[in-house]
Amino acid sequence: MDKLLIEGGVPLAGTITISGAKNAALPILAGTLLATRPVTISNVPHLKDVATTLTLLQKMGVIVTMDDRLNVEVNAAEVRERRAPYELVKTMRASILVLGPLVARFGEAYVSLPGGCAIGARPVNLHVDGLRAMGAAVDVENGFIHARAKRLHGAHIVFDTVTVTGTENLMMAATLADGKTVLENAAREPEVTDLARFLMGLGARIQGAGTSTIVIEGVDALGGGEHRVLPDRIETGTYLVAAAMTGGKVKLNKTDPNILEAVLGKLREAGANLQLGDDWIELDMQGKRPRAVNIRTLPYPAFPTDMQAQFCAMNAMADGVGTVTETVFENRFQHVLELQRMGADIRIEHNMAIITGIPRLTAAPVMATDLRASAGLVLAGLAAEGETLVDRIYHVDRGYERIEEKLQQLGARIRRVP
């Protein structure tokens, strides 16, 4: 199993390119199941979760081809299997995103029920309730969600909780339903909007994506099209925090400053000097130690839970005391125990971490437990004194494209070791 070996203490400096967003690419790839003609998707990040999604599509009979510039062409004209097997779903919960498209287009889906997760219970009841409201019969049999409907019909759905993939699943299902579907208290994440843009390019009729009320007018069929995946705001934020923690200066290209305002605001509060262009962000820390900041995670446009671990790492070496309150997932503080092994002074009270910054973290062998927790540990290693070994980095590879290469480009002393 690969590990990352990091010699901390180098202020990051230089320019890198941000990849396409994982959490937009996954629903868009699932959404290709709705299209009767070929679809070309560009700016697809080269990640483990993307590979898993492509394998899932191929197992269903979808033809997937990739050109040398990593444009992915998906042809779902023929789909013989309507099943997402446990072996794939257990490695990637986002597999649940095929549920809506399969029932909507083929009238039937078997999707393994995702099990527990390192960051919380993560049920999918809202996905299932929504499909039932649209007329599907849904049972859980032998660990599988079995959904059937001759043709889904439109419905008025008010989500109890803001759910990103729940919104995406039902929005996709509604594109082929009979009549109008209204999704209220819908997720407003930029990735939901990007998925809507993709679906509209195939001929779907969607209004209001990016707001909390999305209205979908069902059509009989979706054709083919082309789409470029939006930049990854979490990858962007992660590299910005890395620069802030090391007192560095970095420029990130091919990103979008307009989709991470809450994160940029907190970085300014921490003392970072930011310059923004249309598709680039430059952060200059001028060699300073960041100031501690208070964070509260909430659905978009507020501060993202997927940046929480990285800010815990920053607060751990910042000047002052910062609180980090997690309101989206109930168990997303596993990185805290590892950060404590690097000397961090963190106390957890219910869903709040109270972090008193120390001048310098010290290197230690640490273990990644989930994707963003592992990003937090890599950042801590970059800022720490000594050599940090981050184990179980398959979690990192699920969501960060060539992380060690990008960090090396910024001057970090980091390498992958077997």
Kindly list the residues in this chain that would bind ligand EPU in the complex (CB under 6 A). Answer: 23, 26, 94, 120-127, 161, 163-166, 304-306, 328-329, 371-372, 399
Of 409, 379, 406, 307, the residue nearest 9 (C-alpha): 379
CA distance 32 to 65: 13
Shortest distance (Å) from residue 277 CB to ligand EPU: 26
User: Is 312 assigned a catalytic role?
Assistant: no
Which one, 157 or 243, has the nearer CB to ligand EPU?
A: 157
Which one, 165 or 369, has the nearer CB to ligand EPU?
A: 165
Q: What share of the chain is helix, strand, coil (3-state, %, to 5)?
A: 35, 30, 35
For residue 173 the two structure tokens come to 């299902």
* DSSP one-letter string for 367-415: E--SHHHHHHHHHHHHHSBSEEEEE-THHHHTT-TTHHHHHHHTT-EEE
CA distance 193 to 24: 9
Shortest distance (Å) from residue 61 CB to ligand EPU: 23
* DSSP one-letter string for 63-102: EEEE-TT--EEEE-S-----EE-HHHHTT-GGGGGGHHHH
Among 13, 70, 113, 117, the active-site one is 117
Shortest distance (Å) from residue 95 CB to ligand EPU: 10
Which one, 339 or 371, has the nearer CB to ligand EPU?
A: 371
How, if at all, do strands 144-148 and 345-349 pair?
A: unpaired
> Is cis: bond before 301, omega within 30 of 0?
yes
Which one, 11 or 166, has the nearer CB to ligand EPU?
A: 166
Which one, 120 or 320, has the nearer CB to ligand EPU?
A: 120
Of 349, 347, 274, the residue nearest 315 (C-alpha): 347
Shortest distance (Å) from residue 197 CB to ligand EPU: 16
**Residues annotated as catalytic (active site), given as ranges:** 117
